[in-house]
Amino acid sequence: MQQVKIGDTVKVHYHGRLTDGTTFDSSEGRSPLEFKVGSGSVIKGFDEGVMGMQVGDKKTVEIPAHEAYGVSEPGRIVEFPRNQFPKDIEPEVGMQLNMTSGNGDAFPVVITEVKDDVIVLDANHPLAGKDLIFDIELVNIAGSSPLIITP
């Protein structure tokens, strides 16, 4: 049977969870995730995790933070002056917002703390600094065809 290699387009079902068992994403009830292996469209550890799998294989892959969404960078946590915060938004811890940089690039942030004079915003990916566990089932290797040997 064909094994997954770099450049293959694959379809997988997956269940992603944190080390404490909390589910953060799953393909359950949806179409399988399709991606080209080695293209960088999924996190490094997931990409590497499907290598060598065959259609129908199931496996669990543990991905350390540095092969997932990276470590949490303290420089991406900023204190935003409360008097510059939009008056029509009541800031709450956990609230997700979009900000725009000086050059016009939009990026997501999460409020991590609300103080009297500042709002603490974290622009790290929500899964940065977290080790991840994925249960993966390989559904298809696109373009695969059975090997036929004739005498």
Do 85 and 116 lie in one domain? The reply is: yes
Residue 149 falls inside a structural domain: no
Q: In the chain, pLDDT over 90 holds for what percent of residues?
A: 83
pLDDT tens for each residue of 99-110: 888 888 888 999
HEC secondary structure over the chain? CCCCCCCCEEEEEEEEEECCCCEEEECCCCCCEEEECCCCCCCHHHHHHHCCCCCCCEEEEEECHHHCCCCCCHHHEEEEEHHHCCCCCCCCCCCEEEEECCCCCEEEEEEEEECCCEEEEECCCCCCCCCEEEEEEEEEECCCCCCCCCC
Number of domains forming the structure of the chain: 2
Provide the residue range defining the domain that includes 114: 74-122
**Of 2-6, 8-12, 28-32, 102-106, minimum mean pLDDT range:** 102-106
Do 111 and 40 lie in one domain? The reply is: no
Do 80 and 111 lie in one domain? The reply is: yes
- Answering whether pTM is above 0.75, one says yes
Residue 94 falls inside a structural domain: yes
